[in-house]
A and B are shown apart, each in its own frame.
Chain A
Amino acid sequence: MSVPSEPADSSQPAVATAVPPGHAVVAREKQIPENGNEIISLWPTTIICGALLLLAGFILDYGGDHLSYGSLFREGYVRRTPPGSVATPLPPKTALEAYMARGKKVFEGKCITCHGPDAKGNGSTYPSLVGSAWANGETERFAMIILNGLQGKISNGRIYGVMPPQGIGMTPEELAGIMTYVRNYFGNTKGDVITSEMAKAAMKISAARKNAGQSVTAEELTADHVKALPGNPVDATTLVDPLTLEPVQAAAATAPAKAPVPGAAVAPAASPAPKTP
């Protein structure tokens, strides 16, 4: 900051005599000198700034995909078991309950908007699933409808709206879950469980259709798909792990009733570690 051009000789008290009273404060102020032109010493500055930049980059790395607004949690995030406990898996449920729980999520995500919260549809565009012959009938036919959508006449002979395909991005567990749910809820009582194995087979069958990619029609269903899906039937009361839907040993069934007590050694022998869904 340059200041009007008098010398910076501020050590002389001589000015005091000419200064009006009360301005002594201002008078004795030093003038701000010109800024120094020392060059930054390059090496220390570079090393320090470099180290801090590396640290910042290391911190930033935790964020995963930068500028990606897509996901809600870090990639590869696995919930760690807190220190001091063994990994207590979720208590096993019966196969029916586990698959229905999975299917309930799918239903409330996808199907409820058209078929309604009670699956009764609206009578004109969306048919009811309660007591539906196709929903409660052969599993392969039902699976084809869900995966590919449906056009034209339905089981009761009437024509409703077009059902869009739901198979894109659906996992076999979800497919198995939604089929089990519809067949055992809303007043349907088939009592059977469609397993993920059967659902995987269904997806293969669906991809191998002649009109793969287009919705099914009543004719195609009656001609090709009136059969049960291949796969081992599973008894509805078998105990499975709710996350992986794999059967667990019966020995573990004694532990599940109480809530997982932290620190208690409740490690069922054969159940796999729960994977994050």
Chain B
Amino acid sequence: MSSTSSTAELSDVTLRSGIDRSLRHPVMFFLTSAAAWLAVSILLAIVASVKVHWPQFMDDCEYASYGRVFAAHTNTLIYGWGFQAGFGVLIWLMARMSRQECRAAGTILTAGHVWNLVVSLGTLGLLDGRGTGMPWMEFPAFVWPGLLLCYLTIVVWSFIQFRVRKGERTHVAQWYLLAAMIWFPWIFITANGLLFCASGHPLMAAAINAWFKSALMFLYFIPIALGTAYYLAPKLSGRPIPSTSLARLGFWSLAVVAPWAGMQKLAGSPLSGVFLPYLGAAATALLAIPLVTAAANILRTIFSSEEKLPKSPALHFTLAGLMGLLLLAVAAIALNLPGSSLKLTQFSISGYGFEILALYGCFSFMMFGAVYFIVPRITCSEWVSSRFINMHFFFSVYGIVAIAFGALFGGFIQGSAQEAWLQPWESVTDVVRPYAAVSTFAWCVILFSNIFFFIHLAMMWMGLGRRDSNPILLDSPADMSAPIPQPNP
């Protein structure tokens, strides 16, 4: 019996290893390229943040003017880091869950390089002053069709794998990933088509842009993060997801509620449909339902295992991402109460804090978790140093907490200062200055944490990982030279 089982297990191992091998080039490319873009984005974030409290910094360099540098920061964070990390994780997860090898690795790799090229051109154009001025769509207008085509080329193979998958049931993670794959073209085409190809009322264009930001967060990045978490949690803890019906509730509530959110940015403007911003605010507040149900479900999965606190790095980061998710749900409600907080924070840094919380505090942490899970499998080696991982983890958490809380609270203070109409407007910038300084410091801390990540990832990429059958565990003693035999995690 054990020989049959071990033969069957062996063939399963071979299948999964085969999947990993087939994907190793595209996935590794995406992850390392994404990490590089993350570095670029954080540097730009630091420059942009410094410009807020110390405008004379680099003031003779037109490429470093705030409007360009801040736009470049957000756009590289999304299109450079966010999308490419998402691609790497998405195609690996879809392949593994469909148990299909990837046959189009070369095509995907090429599309990835083209994506890099297009985003680089866009960023350079943006820094040169040719940005469009629409938040998160600031790349010059020639960029978006290229991005769309690359996206299709990269993602269509996952569709095919899903269609020919082995196995009857679909896992919760597959729902989220599949949905994200279909939602993104809708959001992207609609927003870019209406804003760049059709001419309409400019105020409505601003509303559509605001909708695009929210939809990209909640219908692409958050579902990918949730899908990753729904995969990693049961996989690493060995425990099942407690309630499929709760998972279903979470998924469908996200699908129904999230497309309505976004236009709350324009509350009070003479938009011809006055109800639209308030619809957006209501939907954003209601997003707490899908976020909290998913977080609750996954947290119960993780903590129902025998270990009190998971030791795997991937689970550490997934937990951090889930905390970010819960914070995001609270912030979504707190920032969208029309009588009080909406009008206070509408034109403040709270919006930025909210976006960074979603993109970094939730999505990026989940992606880091996935990276720490996936890379050993495609390089067939282990991570080298638990200290590096710890540094990466703790400093990232400190940094993101500083930014999120600083920006969210600072936004309220800023809004109150804006409402104090008897004071000159400069007093608002004086009030915001400390929060901008906190933000700069926090981004520096995050950069510091990510240096460890980049070094570690580069080592794995260059084949310097440990050839060992024992994984890195985060409560192991600092001296990893003598690997301690652990039971299979």
Q: Which residues of A contact B (CB under 8 A)?
A: 1-7, 9-16, 18-30, 32-40, 45, 48-49, 52-53, 55-57, 59-74, 82, 84-85, 262-263
Contact = CB atoms under 8 A, between A and B. Distances in A.
8 contacts: A6-B5, A11-B488, A22-B381, A25-B471, A26-B20, A37-B244, A38-B245, A39-B243
B113 interface: no
Interface stretch (B233-241, B318-326, B444-452): B233-241
B25 interface: no
Given A39-B245, A52-B333, A63-B277, 15 more contacts: A3-B167, A14-B2, A15-B6, A15-B13, A25-B376, A27-B13, A32-B234, A33-B234, A36-B244, A52-B288, A52-B289, A59-B278, A59-B337, A61-B278, A68-B273
Given A28-B469, A33-B238, A10 B275 contact: no
B285 A33 contact: no
Contact of A59 (B9, B167, B246, B336): B336
Nearest to B377: A25
Contacts of B467: 21-22
B124 interface: no
Contacts of B421: 82, 262
Contacts of B286: 52-53, 55-56
B13 A69 contact: no
A34 B240 contact: yes
B172 interface: yes
Contact of B282 (A59, A65, A84): A59
Interface in B315-372: 333, 336-339
B278 A29 contact: no
A30 B305 CA distance: 13
A28 B17 CA distance: 12
Contacts of B237: 30
A66 B275 contact: yes
Among A9, A33, A61, A82, max chain B CB count under 10 A is at A33
B10 A32 contact: no
7 interchain residue pairs of minimum CB distance:
A63-B275, A63-B278, A24-B469, A22-B380, A1-B171, A33-B240, A72-B270
Chain A at the B interface: mostly helix, strand, loop or mixed? loop
Interface of B: 2, 5-6, 8-14, 16-17, 20, 97, 166-172, 174, 231, 234-247, 249, 270-279, 281-283, 285-286, 288-289, 292, 333, 336-339, 376-377, 380-382, 419, 421-422, 467-469, 471, 487-489
Nearest to A13: B488
A69 B243 contact: no
Contacts of A85: 422
Contact of B249 (A14, A40, A71, A82): A40
B241 A6 contact: no
Nearest to A65: B275
A69 B17 contact: no
A28 B471 contact: yes
A83 B41 CA distance: 42
A266 to B, nearest CB: 15
Given A1-B170, A22-B380, A14 B6 contact: yes
A55 to B, nearest CB: 6
A35 B333 CA distance: 30
B172 to A, nearest CB: 7
A20 B16 CA distance: 13
Given A28-B471, A66-B275, A23 B380 contact: yes
Contacts of A70: 272
B230 to A, nearest CB: 10
B209 to A, nearest CB: 19
Given A14-B2, A34-B240, A39-B245, A64 B12 contact: no
B264 to A, nearest CB: 9
B249 A84 contact: no
A1 B238 contact: no
A22 B463 CA distance: 12
Contacts of A61: 278
Given A25-B377, A68-B273, A35 B241 contact: yes
A28 B16 contact: no
A46 B345 CA distance: 30
B102 to A, nearest CB: 16
A18 B422 CA distance: 78
A68 B469 contact: no
A83 to B, nearest CB: 8
A22 B377 CA distance: 9
B380 A60 contact: no
A23 B17 contact: yes
Contact of A18 (B10, B277, B337): B10
A30 B281 CA distance: 42
B231 A63 contact: no
A239 B67 CA distance: 49
B276 A63 contact: yes
Contact of B285 (A25, A49, A52, A68): A52
Contacts of A7: 5
Contacts of A15: 6, 9-10, 13
B163 to A, nearest CB: 16
A35 B422 contact: no
A1 B169 contact: yes
